[in-house]
Structure 1
Amino acid sequence: MATTILDHYLTAAKNVLESIASREAANLETAAAAVADAYQAGHRIYIFGCTHSAILAEDVFYRAGAPAFWQPLWGPGMNIATTPGFLTSAMERCEEAGRAIVENSQLQAGDVLLVISTSGKNAAPVAVAATALQRQASVIVISSSAYREARGNHSTIGSLWQLVDRVIMIDNHVPCGDAAIEAGNCPMGPLSTLAGSFLVHSLSALAVEQLAGRGIMPPVFLSSNAPGGREHNEALLNLPGMREKFMLP
């Protein structure tokens, strides 16, 4: 039984990752170019997600093997680690909250914002993306085309997929409902976090590769638990304007 479940889950995960690698490479390169251009021009690189998508903002922030340029837009009440689950679900459907997050941030024209929402239809991430576009930021979206025709609760925009002509859209190829296997007749085995982590770290690596090709090497964190990692990170944090990004206000 264990082997069957592991095999089925592994197969589903591999299929999603292979779909991303084969079908989203061009979109990832386009997104990486936007990130590289913004970094080279001195602009900020933001990332936003609600509930379990917020995990992906944490996944690239102050992370070994990730560039230091990511700046999460932390939405109050939208992080599953610090907020009761049902409240995060309510907050991610709040259009006004999404709009206020951007309005109370330093995001401005020329910056890049990555918005992650597998369903793409909740009002908060839609409002975050729309408000960022109003500020003339470049917006990248990671969502699932399985929800392309779904309509959410934003007052004027049905889903992030309705912004496809104004954003760089990346499909995470996750099935509707997220669950990929059955156990005891229960849908289980979500794929969105696995797929999202693969996407955000691939995007990071592609952006760094593009910058390196231009003779620019952005700071990348190493593991503090590996030899020399702590010293490397301390030197990185001593770069101008760097340390305050990772400290309490």
Structure 2
Amino acid sequence: MTGSSNRGPRIQNLLAFSLLYLAGRAVARQIRRRWHRPAPGWLTRAPGHRALLGFTLTLAVVAFGVRIRYPLDEWVPLFEFIQAEPARLAQYTAFFTAGVLAYRYDWLDQLSRGTGYTWLAAGLALAAGLFVTGTDTAYFAPGGASAASACWTLVEMVICIGLSVGLLTLFRDVATGRHRLSRALADSSYTIYLIHLPIVVALQFAVARADLPALPSFALVAALATVGSVALAVPLRRLPGLRAVL
């Protein structure tokens, strides 16, 4: 698994983060047994605008610093096994940690609609702007100690955090737990993440032979891949021994 970065690096990173999470949880369990201290108040409350803004700016500063040395799409092998993109490593680490905390302390149910939809609007506005301008402009750069790199890093973080917080709020309000299908989709989300890639690639090869324009091809592959991934993931989780890990 050394060399090029096209051999499932995100799966490798997810596995590494999962192992680190298990180790961290074991350490935290021992600490709780010894000191019996409750979680600090700021952890038990869902983040508001101030916390999300601080998180965004801090992450942007750290990522910008890393990208001075390692620009986007530059991959390095860690321990000659894990393919890592240093430019986004801080982002992956922070988001994984935030996801663990959000689950542990029930942030998603507590997050206010005003906060979620404000950040959703910010993320959508910047994403729409990127569709208009593209990234091939003087205002964006993949790395280096430049204003363009800092600008792109900040825009990327706002889009990522805004859409993450906003879409989770939206789906919480309109879809979660309403019926059996939505619960099955929610329970199978991790499995869908793991199995969707070969389905998408196979469909892309199949659609490429039809010589369709780019936008219809994208829409067709997205629709078929979504249905196919769900159709495979739901029964896959019912197999003996797999439900516990998927």
Query: TM-score, normalized by length of structure 2?
Result: 0.22
Query: TM-score, normalized by length of structure 1?
Result: 0.22
Q: Which of the two has greater helix per residue?
A: 2
Q: Which has the higher contact order (CA 8 A, sep 6+)?
A: 1
Q: Which of the two has greater strand per residue?
A: 1
